[in-house]
Each structure stands twice: as C-alpha cells, then as structure tokens.
Amino acid sequence: MKLEDLILVSVDDHAIEPRDAFTRHMPAKYKGREPKVVQKAGRDVWVFEEQATGYMGLNSVVGRPKEEYGMEPLGYDQMRRGTWDVLARVDDMNANGVLGSLCFPTFPGFAGQRFQGYADRGVSLAAIQAYNDWHLHDWCNAAPGRFIPLMLTPWWDMQAAAAEVERLARQGVHALSLSDNPTLHGYPSIHSDYWDPLWKACADNDVVICCHIGTGAKAAHASEDSPIDAWITSMPISIANSAADWIWAPMWKKFPKLRMALSEGGIGWIPYLLERADFTHRHHHAWTMSNFGGKMPSDVFNEHIITCFIEDEFGLKNLDSINVDKVTWECDYPHSDCTWPLSANVFWEQSQHLSDEVINKITHLNAMREFSYDPFAILGRENCTVGALRARATHVSVEPALGMGGAAPVRDPSKPVTSGDINRMFAAADAQTAL
C-alpha cells in the first residue's frame, strides 16, 4: 500500500454551528426563541433563553501557525471557513485526504449538555431536535457519503430520549453523543436503571454512544502556576476514570448489543487500564461482589468499547494488547490537536510496521462497520482514497493564515504560559460578554 491508497475516516471532528443553524428547524411554537448569535463586546456570542452560552468557536484554530494557537477565536471571521461552512469543510477534508467525518457540536457542548438545564423543557427539547435536524439535513446531507451523523437527546426524560433516538435512527443516524459521567451534570449515574430506555433504544437501533473527553470528568489543572502543557498532556487520559466506570456498569449484561466510543481518548494507555482492570477483578471480586459472568473486565471493554486516536505511535505498536477491530482513527479538525492538512502523512509515518489488513481496519473499515456508514456505495471506493481526494483539492490553500485574531493569554518569553494565564484569559472574555 502507498500513502495515496489510504482511506481515512475520522470518528472525532467538530462543527462550529453557523449563525442560522437553528432558524429553519425550530418549530413554529418556539419561533423567535431559537438559539442565535449576537454581537457582544466585539465578539460573536450564542444566546439561548436570554443567556450568553460559552465560547462560540472554542479552540477552532486550524489553519493558524502554531505560534498563534493560544489565540482563541471570538468571531466567525477569526476562524477558517471550513470550521462552520460545510462545503468549505469538504474542501478541507479533501485537502487533508479525509473521506468521512463524525462531527461533535460546539455551542451545545460536545454532548449537548448546555441544553439540559433550562426550566422550560419544551423549548429545550425543541432546540435539541432543531440541532439534530440541522446537523443531519443541512450539514451531513449537504455532502452525501462524507459525514457520519451524530444526534443529541434530552437527559431529563428517557421516554423522549428513546423516541428521539428512534426518530433519527429511521433517518440513518447511528451515533449519539452523551456525557461520560452524567452525575457531574446533576443526573443519575450510568449504574442507575434510569437510563435503561435510552440504552435499549440505542441497542435496538444500532446506535453507538459517543463519550467525548471533557463532557463529564475533565483533566484537572494542577495549579494556577502549572504550565498549560501539563493540562493539555493529560486531556485524553482524563477519560480513564470514566472508562473504568463504564466497564463495571450494568448495561452490558442487560443490552449485549450496546456499544460506546471513548472519543478523543487515545489508545496508548488502554493496555495498562485493561491489565489493571483484570488484576482488580482477580484480587478483589470475592469481596466486592463484582460479577462478569465468567468473563474478565478486559473482555467487556474489548467487546463493547470503541477507541480512537489522532497520533499514537506507542498505541499503534501495541495493538495486540487491545481489540484491533474496535480501534478507529480521528482527525480532531478544527482543534489544536489536529494534524490538518498532513493527517494522512502523519498516520502513514506511524503505521509502516502494520499490515495492509490492519491499516484498512483502523483507518476506515472499523468505523464503517461500527457506525453503519457506507460511503463506497455512494461515492465508489476508487474516489475515496487520499490520492483521489487530494486531487480534487488543488484549489484549496493550506498555507497558515497569519494574524486571524482572537483572545490570547499574556505571554512572557521568559516563562511558560500557565493554567492561570489561560483561566484569566477566559474570565476576562466572559466578563466582557456579560456587560
């Protein structure tokens, strides 16, 4: 196989919702109350139910020189167009040699958590459904075969959540974004039968539960004085606690067809997690009363949990320690960890020791199977390779764009940027928005 023959499907990217994302899809009953973008203190801000909500384009720094990665965009004109314009996104995917993409939301929160806390549940559900309809019809269906659609659900009503899963699954949506630890948002734990209607709907409709890092347990800032590099380093591994919690959760016995994904979690640390999980079960199950029905914790993980990586040279060298049939690749466009526009090149350099069979599994075949995604039927396999896609993107500039602007931490060449510097930057921007 040559680099040009690779077929890359990313199971973790992000969409920046365009200004009019909710306008067309909000039901008549709630017209005028849909989430919208307003200008406040020189920045574009999403507002819903009179509340300014979060950063509009958090960490959407693709296309900037790395020296400007710490400068968070405050408006659409400070981001590469492919972050929010779906046709420009396809151009950027082509330039990167990426065939398919599963895109998490931005303004709603990666798991839709920002829609869960409003007093008026009716307008909250309407916003969730409007988001789902925009994401499916205006984003994914704008480029058939290029996207894996992803849905959100209400957490406060499991019958409504199950109904939304069924509604979207009938339209070909087989991925759901959910917090890896809902208790941190005030909801029952994943060990509660509260969630059973949702688990059943996902299992019955072949829907994967996608838990993105940062939607529940988050990497902690060790101190205000700690270099921000320390926090960035621990971000993917921060989902390890939740991964252990899901291994011991009860839904796998109740719904054996259910699957979940540790989105943006990496793979290099997983062999040790599984070793430790099996060690724990052997040494402690006699008194903890855990029961895997003759299986080991690692069996549950390998049967039900999908993993993904951006760059993970160590993980790719240790694929024999995890289930290679559940390993997938991700790009993370447009965040600062993404390798655009050289994602194919980076993967190729790290995978030279792998067979063509394994490469095909982790680049696209596993993702296609797990997410019920078949771009070949629409586009033809010969049109889906890195070489074929890049040939369609000769008009796309991939040169770094200088001086795009945004909020930036105060930097001192004599010391590293710290967690405190970043926290103060966000606090100042939020204070301006509240004026």
DSSP 3-state of 146: coil
Which pLDDT belongs to residue 380?
Answer: 98
For residue 210, report the phi and psi dihedrals to the nearest 5 degrees.
-105, 115
Contacts of 74 (CB under 8 A, 6+ apart): 42, 43, 44, 56, 57, 405, 406, 407, 429
C-alpha span between 368 and 376 (Å, rounded): 10
Positive or negative, the Cα torsion across 209, 306, 15, 368?
Answer: negative
Q: Domain 3-434 is classified in which CATH homologous superfamily?
A: Metal-dependent hydrolases (3.20.20.140)
What is residue 181's predicted lDDT score, i.e. its pLDDT?
A: 97
The size of the chain, in residues, is 435
Query: Residue 148: enclosing H or E segment and its boundaries?
Result: strand 147-148
| Alpha carbons 139 and 151: distance in angstroms, whole number | 12
To the nearest 10 degrees (0 to 180), the angle between helices 240-247 and 297-304 is 100
* CA dihedral (297, 298, 304, 310) positive or negative: positive
For tokens 């105060």, what's the residue?
A: 410
Q: Which residue has the tokens 């394994």?
A: 358
> What value, to the nearest 5°, has the Cα angle with vertex 359 and ends 357 and 364?
100
Whole-model pTM?
A: 0.96
Instruction: Indicate left, alpha or beta for 306 from its phi (over 0: left) and psi (-120 to 50: alpha).
Output: beta
DSSP states of 82-103: GGT-HHHHHHHHHHHTEEEEEE
Are the C-beta atoms of residues 131 and 168 closer than 8 Å to each other? no
**Whole-angstrom distance, CA of residue 60 vs CA of residue 84:** 10
Write out the two tokens for 314.
């160590």
Distance CA 343, CA 334 (A): 12
> CA nearest 42: which of 78, 75, 83?
75
Backbone angles phi and psi of 97, in degrees to 5: 75, 25
Q: How far is CA 328 from CA 52, 77, 313, 434, in A?
A: 35, 33, 14, 41
Q: Would you kindly state where each structural domain of the chain is located, as residue ranges?
A: 3-434
Residue 333 Cα to chain centre, angstroms: 10
Task: Say what the alpha-carbon torsion angle 262, 266, 271, 276 is, to the nearest 10 degrees.
Answer: -60
pLDDT at 435: 47
pLDDT in tens, the chain (435 residues): 999 999 999 999 999 999 999 999 999 999 999 999 999 888 899 999 999 876 677 789 999 999 888 878 989 999 999 999 999 999 999 999 999 999 999 999 999 999 998 999 999 999 999 999 999 999 999 999 999 999 999 999 999 999 999 999 999 999 999 999 999 999 999 999 999 999 999 999 999 999 999 998 788 899 999 999 999 999 999 999 999 999 999 999 999 999 999 999 999 999 999 999 999 999 999 999 999 999 999 999 999 999 999 999 999 999 999 999 999 999 999 999 999 999 999 999 999 999 999 999 999 999 999 999 999 999 999 999 999 999 999 999 999 999 988 888 888 889 999 999 888 887 877 776 664
